[in-house]
Amino acid sequence: MNSYERFCFNLIGDRMKAKRSDYHDLRNNMMRARMTVPFEAYLATTYISALISGLFFAGAVGLFTYLFKIPEMIEYKGVLPAVIVSLSSYSLIICTIIAVIVSLIVFGGTTYFVFLLYPGILAGERRRNIDATLPYAINYITAMSTAGITPAEVFRLLGDSKIYGECAVEARYITREVELFGKDLLDALRICSSYTPSQRMKDFLQGSMASISSGGNLTEYFRIKAEQYKHENRLNQKMFLETLGLISESYVTALVAGTLFLIILQSVVSTISGSSSPHFLYIIIYGIIPLGSLMFIIIISSMTPEI
């Protein structure tokens, strides 16, 4: 914990212990994300941060509304009820109070939900990294197992490696359960498989448990899983390239040919009508093309698998 999290925990941490059952998904996501912050400290930080954010923005919005007299800038030409007319002299104070309350709810609630969603986002990033590096990590495990190294030592060596990303992190947690907490390897694999964010890693660990408990050939199991995941990665890469081809064709059709057609059409219409208003061209050049390109970049970035 850093000093801010420690401060929040010391402030309301004891009250957060009673809320463990109310935040079951949050606790699971924190475990899947392998966050080192205790649940009570993180939840206390969530509440305090939401309160601070809400108060800060509420004060800023209220001060802005009051100093610039925003309500007085609004003119309503319709017929108002007598109650509202009678309160018109207090409109500045009333609107400032409303702005403060709304800002407190909006910004405080947004901060609260961002803190709740962050562990899930972090767990999703770990899942993608594990799925991308798992075939290579299993190849490494297979090589070590073929050399006659025991399964517990194999996972320890994998955890010591720096090139297998989050797979090495999962292996270090297995080693921690064995060496620090005195669990046997089957219990360590079961615990790790319960909280890993990757379904592929979970299937692999559960298969390893079944192979060890049944006395099967663990090295052969590693070799089979390595071939399986290698084949799956090849299929995923092929599907990604096909999808990327479709997206590139859509980009050329929509943002290259489409915008060019609109520009030519606008030029022809302007010539015929005799008007030279460039506003539509500005919308295309400075709005549609940049925003459309940004949208395609985000789509490609979100669907690109890690290598």
pLDDT digit string (tens) for 282-292? Answer: 888 888 888 88
Q: Are 48 and 86 in contact (CB under 8 A)?
A: no
Classify residue 87 by its DSSP letter.
T
Helices and strands (H, E) in the chain, number of each type: 13, 0
Residue appearing with tokens 């999962």: 170
3-state secondary structure of 140: helix
DSSP letter, residue 75: -
Task: Tally the residues of the chain.
Answer: 307
Max Cα-Cα span within the chain: 90
Using CA atoms, how far apart are residues 45 and 6, in angstroms rounded to an integer?
A: 9
Whose structure tokens read 């109310």? 22
Q: What is the pLDDT of residues 151-200, one digit of tens each?
A: 889 999 999 988 898 999 999 999 999 998 888 899 999 999 999 999 99
For residue 265, pLDDT over 90 is answered with: no
Angle at 306 between CA 190 and CA 29, to 5 degrees: 40
* All structural domains of the chain with their residue ranges: 3-122, 127-230, 233-303
pLDDT of residue 76: 57
- Per the listing, tokens 């003119």 go with 75
